[in-house]
Chains A and B, each alone.
Chain A
Amino acid sequence: MDSKKVADKLDPVILALTQNRLDHISHQMGWVMVRTARSPIFSQAHDFSCFIAGPTGEVVSQADGIPIHTGSGGFGVRAILRDFGSELAEGDVYLLNDPWEAGGNHLPDWVIARPVFVDGQMVGLTCNRAHQSDIGGGAAGAYNPTATDAWSEGVRLPVIKLVEAGKTREDLWKLLMLNTRTPHLQDGDLRAMLGSTRIGMERVAALVEELGIDNAMDYFTGVLDHADRSVRAEISKLPDGVYEAEDRSDNDCFEIRDVTVRVRLTIENENMTVDFTGTDDQILGFKNSSLGNTYSAIYTALASFLDPNLPHNEGAFRCVDVIAPEGTIVNANEGAPTTMCTVFFAHEIIHAVWKALAQADPDRGCAGWAKNVFGISVGKEDSGHPYVFYHGAAAAGSGAVDGRDGFNQIGHVCTLGGLTMPNVEVYEQLYPVMFHRQEFRIDAAGPGKYRGGSGCDYEVDILTPATHSFRGEGLNYETGYGINGGKNGASGRMHLRHSDGEIEEAPKFGLRRTDTVRFVTQSPGGGGYGPPLERDPELVLRDWRDGIISDVTMRDIYGVVASADGKSVDSGATNALRGSM
């Protein structure tokens, strides 16, 4: 039955109840995960997502989860149906991670999927994608900055039947436990994933039983159709045309050289094509994006640009065609290293798509979120206890949009800021470190009618010898682009002050072993929106009084003059100055 006919006979009340109920079930799966998983990453950072697919593998609900997980769940589910379609049975559970063989996004994110049966008929799958604490490979903690292929990043899993007819396959379970450095965490985390999908399965089965199978399948289709119509309605508001844009990184994880994502976005009525033809070839280092991750990045860009309330299911993607040439950084060939891709090149893909969309609808344009510059420091406490310290308090500034200045310090764009920063007091308790500064930068925010986020000045002493893994994406070039006349945010800077007083410029990538050392970092600023001369002079004065901009910036970039006591705007002088600029 085609969508139109299904829509015609659906009761709008039942449709709403079904949509809400599916979303509620995916939230419930998330609560169970948070409550039962072992690794702190799940309860602290919510680095997982729960979703529900229909019997053909289309994701009907993904209410729970982080943006960069949204939009690619269906790849894995369809790989399961491809490999096990005819033999899916009640009580089975499947596991996968491989981006090429099994529709994964990157190796650390494992998907547990459990088919749901009602009266012997498969009516859908409940799934949980979660970041594992360690998956083997060349470095502890799943991120290997020196990896040049997938095998040095960790174990590759095709679709495997982990539980058969209710019985866990102990041989496979042991295999998995042997391939992680943290089996005690992984054992608990996998069990939590199994538990959350079981709750989901029970609730989905109950829903389908209440509605009746045929009716329920019509309403699942109806939920997808509604998302489809919602996105089509949004896209049809954009003027038809071809919009080209690009965003670049200045390194391939080993050398300084430009690597560019190029996008050609075509809007024709209510359809959109996102074509990455012309994008650079895949690189040696671990930022290459898998196709699944590229879809998620596109979805994140689209939903955040159009309307954050658009339904998060796969119907929302039906009107979007993606062309991602194989062997490029947006669709790397089998065996390429990809672990970092959920952050970088996801960032560049989101930026490129945002820039193209902004040509279609400038008012909704989003200025660039500066790329983060911080990595991790790994060492041993006096007690001999190992520690892994994220320099997360050095977060960069976000870009502005119409009506909102950039967030001065915020998490990565791939999470839309969903990952929070630590309190320095908490980190001083947990790690052998002492902070000296975490304050907004001056003159780093991209100027604009709405200015970018300021970034921060960050200084911390690492009080033991340590090995540092550098991820200085936002160092030494401007990554928070301005839009609609707004200016770029300032680039990031970082140096190390060694215990002997020597000062060393920090590398952008790679590993470095040091004695006690001070990190001195200026995290980069986000881009501005609209011409700086259109910024409300009161807001300019406030930024100046706040020390976010200097005297020179207030005068030369914003054209604002303060009164003699510095507490108000000299309107006459400001008008005269702005008139002359």
Chain B
Amino acid sequence: MTITIKSPPWRVGVDVGGTFTDLVVADSDGRTEVYKVPSVPADPGEGVIDALLTACASLNQPIEKFLGNCQFFLHGSTVATNTLLEGKGAVVGLLTTTGFRDSLEARRGLRKDPWDHRTPYPPVLIPRYLRLPVGGRIDAKGNEIEPVNLDDVRIACATFRDEGVESIAVSLLNSFVNTSHEDAVAKLVRDENVCEWVSVSSDIVPIMGEYERTSTTAVNAYVMPRVATYLTALQQKLIDMGLKTKLLMLQSNGGAASLDQLIRQPVNLLLSGPSAGVGAMQHLATGIGENNLVSMEIGGTSCDVMLMHEGRVAITDALSVNDYDLVTPSVDIHTVGAGGGTISGIDGAGLMYAGPEGAGANPGPAAYGLGGTRPTVTDAHLVLGRMRPGPYAGGSVSLDMSLAEKALDTEIANPAGISRTDAAAGLIRIVEQNLLHAVERISIQRGYNPGRFILIACGGAGPMHGASVGRKLGARAVYIPRQAGAFCAIGMQHADVRRDFVQVVMRELNADTANVISEGYTHLAKQALEALQNEGFSEENTEFGYELDLHYEGQQWDVRVALDPDAMPDEIRTAFEIEYDRQFGHINPESRINIAKLRVVGIGKLPPLEDPKFDAVKVEVSPIERRPVYAESARDFLDTPIYRGADLSHGQGFVGPAIIEEATTTILVGPGDRVTVDALNNYMVTFVTED
């Protein structure tokens, strides 16, 4: 491989995925290099170190020197998510208002698929015998109806000690309007010193709704000891090896924050990794001058879809991880079970299906030869000539054509009475329909027309489907980053530090509330500035976003608008009605509007990475080989040129059919699709003929 990056200071992004750990190094000119090593699930930090050693070997540098020259070290880690998914969190005790200790387990009756009533809920994170009552009551307006009973707290702490509780959560009724009872309980719990870790609901997520607030606080308490211990140890190890900067963790909101700031709020890390796609989209939006983008990131098991409208990726509060319901600022990602390992077959009544079940990394697709016998997307691509047999994924597995053929014959072609080729092509069509529906869902459901967007195809498996899905979607173009297989690690290079602050308000929006808004904003902005100063930012490197969550009186769902902090109530009303109309197709001019929440988003700007400049090349490029590849539109194999990505430079392009083999992905260009390499050195596909 030709090393293109040159001089420090380096900026490093590491994304630990289920299969691979991706490390991206950017140099002072903004040029990037990707390193992929297998993940080490038992000790993800080992994968991080492996990736670093691989990068250093390639750069021919001792690790101390390399780390010493790192200006920023950004990390996306699944440690919080895995702790939750694997049920390996702490023994947690919960203190809650007397009479209300079961909201965590009753879950408001929320279930994803009502028809599937046989599936139990995942285990409750805090057993009822460790959910203990504290007397005292705050009413809905914040008045104290009954003083808090601290003796109850002492009694509970004795139980917690006896039960070996490692982490304590506090969530009392109506604490979002008055924190005094929680404050008093939290202080006493800390004084009682049962354990090091205390999570208080009004600190973690001061929102209305005891179920979601308690659940979020419980998850935080549950994952905190393990996450804090693991990440602190990793940071120390890197410092011992020469790192001179703090570890910046990617949060679910797509922004970064230093480990020290996050250590008591690990619930913000549940989307750490996938959320970094936001940084990549923002960077691409600037680079290509388009701010309506939909990304489709496809890996081995699933596809994450994200939408950017006019330069903004929606941040939602609601996040569900394995049916644990959370409220934490999160990038709005819609995930479907469609990836390289998605399994296909014929059901008992003769209908063909593809997904949502996947073959995972092991056994993986049948062609891996690791024992899988059911055909997957990867097997179909192999049979259709789109992938080549032999070493794959950096040589970690080898693709065996005969096993793919056998799986397709046995599971689809023979029972359905169709040819192997039709089986493989059909499999891909069904998966691509699923991808198309996923993109339509995230756009139409939110009130956007997908035809106005550029589709970004990324993830290792995305560029194989991007052009085809984009054409069916009616997208204006499909954009394929050259390093599509490390989209999130690349995205980390472009992340800023971001901290979200929220305050519940519950006041009618009218001329009298202007001062309520301004006081609330001042308070939140002060918190945000402090947080950013603690991250080492001076005021001139910060930006603040001001948002209001509003609803019509009597409605229970909020519409969020972003405005200048000094916008007057009538301007706020207008902005709300424009957004409400866009989402719901009508407005209620007579209705009163309530302010539910104020939000301040604090951004600490990291120095932007320069975009490297690539000179345009005029020469024709030659394929490295030609082979028959199945084309859907021709319903046949076409003689197709195969290009090596490294041979393609800015300014070059051609009309498909073609295949481009990149280091981290393979790009399928259909007949009539025009592909060009743009000034960012990435691929843009446009459609020259109608489908």
A residues at B contact (CB < 8 Å): 7, 11-13, 15-17, 19-21, 24, 27-28, 31, 35-36, 38, 40, 43-44, 66-67, 188, 192, 195, 226-227, 229-230, 233, 303-304, 308-309, 366, 395, 398, 401-405, 407-411, 415-426, 428-430, 434-440, 456, 459, 542, 545-548
Contacts and interface: CB of A to CB of B under 8 A. Distances in A.
A233 B349 CA distance: 8
B433 A12 contact: no
B108 A440 contact: no
B352 A12 contact: yes
Contact of A40 (B145, B350, B353, B554): B554
Interface stretch (B110-118, B278-286, B389-397): B110-118
A457 to B, nearest CB: 8
B109 interface: yes
Nearest to A548: B128
Nearest to B173: A425
A67 B586 contact: no
Contact of B110 (A36, A398, A420, A440): A420
Most A Cβ at <10 Å: residue of B103, B349, B429: B349
Contacts of B105: 408, 440
B191 to A, nearest CB: 27
A40 B120 CA distance: 29
Given A40-B556, A426-B556, A545-B127, A439 B99 contact: yes
Contact of B418 (A12, A409, A434): A12
B349 A434 contact: no
B427 to A, nearest CB: 8
A562 to B, nearest CB: 12
A404 B106 contact: no
Contacts, number: 189
Nearest to B98: A437
A530 to B, nearest CB: 14
Most A Cβ at <10 Å: residue of B99, B116, B209: B99
Contact of A546 (B99, B128, B583): B128
B348 interface: yes
B139 to A, nearest CB: 7
Given A416-B117, A423-B103, A230 B430 contact: no
A29 B445 CA distance: 10
B155 interface: no
Given A13-B429, A40-B554, A44-B556, A404 B120 contact: yes
Interface string B120-157: 11000001110000000001100001000000000000
Contact of A415 (B114, B119, B209, B429): B114
A4 B183 CA distance: 71
Interface of B: 99-103, 105-106, 108-111, 113-121, 127-129, 139-140, 145, 173-174, 176, 208-212, 346-354, 416, 418, 422, 425-426, 429-430, 433-434, 437, 440-441, 444-445, 447, 506, 554-557, 583-586, 588
A448 to B, nearest CB: 14
Given A12-B416, A437-B99, A545-B129, A40 B430 contact: no
A416 B99 contact: no
11 contacts: A19-B351, A40-B554, A67-B115, A308-B118, A405-B120, A408-B105, A411-B109, A425-B209, A435-B99, A438-B100, A440-B105
Q: SS class of chain B's interface: helix, strand, loop or mixed?
A: loop
Contacts of B447: 35
Most B Cβ at <10 Å: residue of A395, A407, A440: A407
A31 B129 contact: no
A424 B208 CA distance: 10
Given A230-B349, A423-B211, A429 B557 contact: no
A424 B117 contact: no
Given A31-B441, A423-B108, A424-B100, 13 more contacts: A17-B430, A20-B437, A21-B433, A27-B441, A40-B555, A230-B349, A304-B115, A404-B119, A404-B120, A405-B120, A408-B102, A438-B99, A440-B105
A428 B106 contact: no
Contacts of B140: 425, 428-429, 434
A36 B108 CA distance: 26
Contacts of A423: 103, 108, 208-212
A233 B348 contact: yes
Contacts of A403: 118, 120
Given A13-B422, A31-B445, A407 B109 contact: yes
A430 to B, nearest CB: 8
B102 A439 contact: yes
Nearest to A10: B350
A446 to B, nearest CB: 16
Nearest to B174: A425
B646 to A, nearest CB: 36
Contact of A20 (B101, B430, B506, B555): B430
B422 A426 contact: no
A343 to B, nearest CB: 15
Nearest to A429: B140
A408 B584 contact: no
A456 B557 CA distance: 27
Contact of B117 (A309, A395, A401, A434): A401
A416 B113 CA distance: 9
Given A28-B444, A304-B115, A12 B102 contact: no
A210 B669 CA distance: 24
A308 B116 contact: yes
A437 B139 contact: no
A440 B128 contact: yes
